[in-house]
């Protein structure tokens, strides 16, 4: 029987923070949306001998746009026809439920404590093929939950139901959560906020991923200002 997640009730707008704008939904033909499709293609071809099913998205420091990138990446993979679930694995400062205007009463933390099943915790969205597993209630021991055997079992269960699982993890230099998860995922994307984060912080983030034996798929340079020149003026 095909897995059917519950249809989550959306919060009334007056009680919820407005979700961030997803450019891949609002303007799918924009230059930025095309770059997300390029990232999708690069990920697909990065490991030709092995299908990538689990992708970790993280950054060196807070505020670099990792969650926005994870959400838009999930959208473009879903637009390709794949069944995608975005997992908010930031069990300290989750935001994915704001992005998709979902309730967060149950989610990943509930799965890790065996309070709910995947079908009870995963939310469908208005975007075809795209599902979201919110963080759930913030636990007192995020690192311990993420490093547990139960986390590995949850990942294997999700693999059976979805083509690609995208994990939105906390920043690398703040806590160890992203390092723990990177070792469990097929590949990791490092989001770097152009002109904001210091080079030394990026180097430390890369070193921490290497220490956890993460498969670094690449770096996404976020908020990069493209110079206007004749080529871009003619092409776009």
Per-residue pLDDT tens, the chain, 236 aa: give them.
455 665 544 444 333 333 567 999 988 888 889 999 999 999 988 877 788 999 999 999 999 999 999 999 999 999 999 999 999 999 999 999 999 999 999 999 999 999 999 999 999 999 999 999 999 999 999 999 999 999 999 999 999 999 999 999 999 999 999 999 999 999 999 999 988 889 999 999 999 999 999 999 999 998 877 766 644 444 33
pLDDT for residue 192: 95
Tracing tokens 């990538």 back to the chain, one arrives at 52
The model carries a pTM of: 0.87
How many contiguous H segments (helices) and E segments (strands) does the chain have?
A: 11, 7
3-state secondary structure of 57: strand
As a residue count, the chain comes to 236
Tell which residue, 95, 172, 175, 202, has the closest CA to residue 138. Answer: 95
Paired with 221 in beta bridges are 192
What are the two backbone dihedrals, phi and then psi, of residue 186, each rounded to the nearest 5 degrees? -70, -30
Q: Which CATH architecture has domain 27-235?
A: 3-Layer(aba) Sandwich (3.40)
Neighbours of 19 (CB within 10 A): 16
pLDDT for residue 14: 36
pLDDT for residue 180: 97
């Amino acid at each position: 029987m095909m897995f059917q997640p519950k249809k989550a009730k959306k919060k009334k707008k007056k009680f919820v923070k407005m979700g961030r704008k997803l450019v891949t939904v609002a303007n799918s033909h924009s230059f930025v949306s095309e770059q997300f499709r390029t990232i999708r293609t690069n990920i697909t071809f990065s490991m030709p001998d092995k299908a990538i099913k689990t992708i970790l998205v993280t950054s060196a420091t807070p505020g670099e746009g990792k969650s926005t990138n994870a959400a838009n990446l999930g959208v473009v993979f879903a637009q390709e026809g794949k069944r995608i679930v975005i997992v908010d694995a930031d069990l300290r400062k989750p935001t994915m439920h704001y992005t998709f205007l979902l309730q967060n009463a149950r989610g990943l933390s509930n799965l890790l404590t065996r309070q709910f099943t995947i079908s009870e915790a995963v939310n469908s969205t208005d975007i075809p093929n795209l599902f979201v597993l919110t963080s759930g209630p913030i636990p007192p021991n995020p690192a311990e939950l993420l490093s547990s055997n139960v986390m590995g079992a949850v990942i294997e269960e999700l693999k059976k139901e979805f083509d690609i699982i995208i994990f939105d993890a906390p920043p690398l230099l703040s806590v160890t959560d992203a390092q723990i998860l990177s070792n469990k995922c097929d590949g990791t994307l490092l989001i770097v906020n152009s002109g904001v984060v210091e080079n030394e912080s990026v180097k430390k983030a890369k070193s921490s991923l290497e220490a956890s034996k993460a498969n670094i798929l690449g770096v996404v340079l976020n908020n990069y200002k493209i110079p206007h020149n004749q080529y871009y003026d003619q092409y776009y």
